């Protein structure tokens, strides 16, 4: 039996009872439906980059999505005229590299993110001020309840910060996705992240050639140990990427944190309203502002430094970035969970913030 550790960037996880690896869309749909029709437990596995699998493995059927392929069409008159359809098993960074090579903009800041394309809408992946939601048009989705492949427009997916309706419980499988990309100038979308702007020596809101932006993003990710290369693995990159999401708290709660704690206010959207002529304009009552905090800052200021490890553990904080837990060689899922739990406890005790794990936990609990 193939250990699932060999199919994950963490390098952790025991074997599955049955491992299926369909390579075409028809095979993927047929084998997945067959799995759903059996009494065994099942797991859909993509690129294995955002998952922690138990040391005992998975007692059931694992369907590893390996379908590949991309095709582009044009929609004239659109601000983003390129429509790129991507099969779910296509490695995500290969998708970004393809768009950049063609001068198409929209996902260039998402360079270097490991995993498969099919997982991208589940997490609504994002980095350096860009999210998939800004380019996603729709997905082709094998619905668990109906057993049919349906097309779901992006607005119906409930995409938010590292979440979607798919992550919140809508069962099924992403078969393919469609992206809307710009191609008129080969320039990036406006840069929205200060660290990236500084690396490029430009201002927030500026645009640069997409190829130039991709190089800068890859360099930034490599410096943080967030660039996975299976051919030349870096011990600081044997991870599930960012292990915790940046917590979102109320503005009132954020005021109680130290003044130097990074925070990004996010105002609730005000719904549009139509008033009859001559009516009084009502007082606008706004909801409380929410504030996104830096999980990395919270971890560091809770006394957990880069490279930190519990005694006897082979799991550690990355020496390059406190937001990643890495496998230093021979780490177990139990090692990872123990360290993650310790981090959660320290941050909660110091700041009253409960960090939430970003990876999917299979057979393990925090």
Q: Is 169 exposed, middle or buried (0-12, 13-18, 19+ CB in 10 A)?
A: exposed
> N- to C-terminal Cα distance for the chain?
27
Of 206, 235, 189, 199, nearest to 220 (Cα)? 199
DSSP-based three-state secondary structure for 362: strand
What pLDDT was estimated at residue 16? 95
CA distance 360 to 226: 18
What are 204-259's pLDDT values in tens digits?
999 999 999 999 999 999 888 777 666 656 667 789 888 999 999 999 999 999 99
CA distance 170 to 142: 11
Residues 6 or more apart whose Cβ sits within 8 Å of residue 231:
none
CA distance 209 to 229: 24
Q: Is 341 exposed, middle or buried (0-12, 13-18, 19+ CB in 10 A)?
A: middle
Q: Do domains 70-223 and 240-270+286-362 have the same CATH topology?
A: no
Please provide the CATH number assigned to the domain covering 4-64: 3.30.43.10
Angle, vertex CA 192, rays to CA 204 and CA 134, nearest 5: 145
CA distance 304 to 84: 43
CA distance 320 to 211: 25
β-pairing, 172-181 vs 82-87, is: antiparallel
Under the banding of pLDDT at 50, 70 and 90, the label for residue 97 is: very high
How do the domains of the chain map onto residue ranges?
4-64, 70-223, 240-270+286-362
Angle, vertex CA 241, rays to CA 237 and CA 243, nearest 5: 125
DSSP-based three-state secondary structure for 337: helix
Active site (catalytic) residues = 162, 242, 358
Class of CATH domain 240-270+286-362: alpha beta
CA distance 173 to 118: 8
What are 311-344's pLDDT values in tens digits?
999 999 999 989 999 999 999 999 999 999 999 9
Asked if CATH classification 3.40.50.720 holds for the domain at 70-223, the reply, yes or no, is no
CA distance 78 to 82: 9
What are 20-70's pLDDT values in tens digits?
999 899 999 999 999 999 999 999 999 998 899 999 999 999 999 999 999
DSSP-based three-state secondary structure for 214: helix
What pLDDT was estimated at residue 272? 47
DSSP-based three-state secondary structure for 194: helix
pTM: 0.83
Q: In which residue are the tokens 């095979």 written?
A: 27
Count Cβ atoms below 10 Å from residue 242 Cβ, excluding itself. 21
What are 102-142's pLDDT values in tens digits?
999 999 999 999 889 999 999 899 999 999 999 999 999 99
Mean pLDDT, the chain, rounded, equals: 91
CA distance 16 to 320: 33
Under the banding of pLDDT at 50, 70 and 90, the label for residue 2 is: confident
Under the banding of pLDDT at 50, 70 and 90, the label for residue 267 is: low
Give, for 34, the enclosing helix (H) or strand (E): helix 25-36
CA distance 175 to 65: 9
Is the sign of the CA dihedral 171, 58, 20, 110 positive or negative? positive
Question: Token digits for 231?
Answer: 């051919």
Under the banding of pLDDT at 50, 70 and 90, the label for residue 270 is: very low
């Amino acid at each position: 039996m193939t250990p699932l550790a060999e199919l994950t960037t963490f390098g952790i996880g025991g074997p599955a009872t049955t491992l299926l690896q369909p390579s075409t869309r028809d095979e993927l749909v047929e084998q997945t439906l067959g799995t759903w029709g059996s009494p065994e437990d099942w797991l859909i596995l993509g690129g294995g980059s955002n998952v922690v699998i138990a040391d005992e493995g998975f007692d059931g059927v694992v369907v590893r999505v390996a379908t590949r392929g991309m095709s582009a069409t044009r929609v004239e008159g659109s601000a983003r005229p390129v429509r790129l359809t991507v099969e779910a098993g296509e490695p995500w960074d290969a998708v970004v590299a393809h768009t950049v090579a063609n001068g198409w903009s929209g996902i260039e800041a998402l360079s270097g993110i490991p995993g498969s394309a099919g997982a991208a809408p589940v997490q609504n992946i994002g980095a350096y001020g860009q999210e998939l939601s800004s380019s996603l048009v729709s997905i082709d989705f094998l619905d668990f309840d109906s057993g049919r492949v349906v097309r779901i427009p992006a607005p119906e997916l409930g995409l938010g910060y590292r979440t979607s309706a798919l992550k919140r419980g809508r069962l099924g499988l992403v078969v393919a996705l469609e992206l809307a990309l710009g191609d008129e100038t080969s320039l990036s979308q406006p840069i929205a992240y200060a660290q990236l702007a500084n690396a490029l020596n430009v201002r927030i809101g500026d645009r640069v050639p997409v190829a130039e932006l991709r190089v800068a993003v890859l360099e930034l990710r490599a410096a943080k140990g967030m660039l996975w290369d299976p051919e030349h693995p870096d011990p600081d990159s044997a991870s599930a990427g960012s292990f915790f999401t940046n917590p979102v708290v109320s503005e009132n709660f954020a005021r109680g944190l130290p003044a130097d704690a990074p925070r990004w206010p996010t105002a609730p959207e005000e719904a549009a309203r139509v008033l009859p002529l001559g009516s009084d304009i009502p007082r606008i009552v706004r909801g409380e502002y929410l504030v996104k905090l830096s999980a990395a800052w919270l971890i560091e200021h809770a006394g957990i430094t880069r490279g930190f490890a519990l005694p006897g553990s082979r799991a550690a904080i990355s020496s390059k970035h406190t937001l990643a837990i890495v496998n230093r060689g021979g780490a177990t899922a139990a090692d990872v969970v123990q360290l993650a739990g310790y981090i959660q406890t320290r941050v909660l005790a110091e700041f009253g913030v409960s960090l939430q794990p970003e990876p999917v936990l299979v057979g393990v609990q925090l």
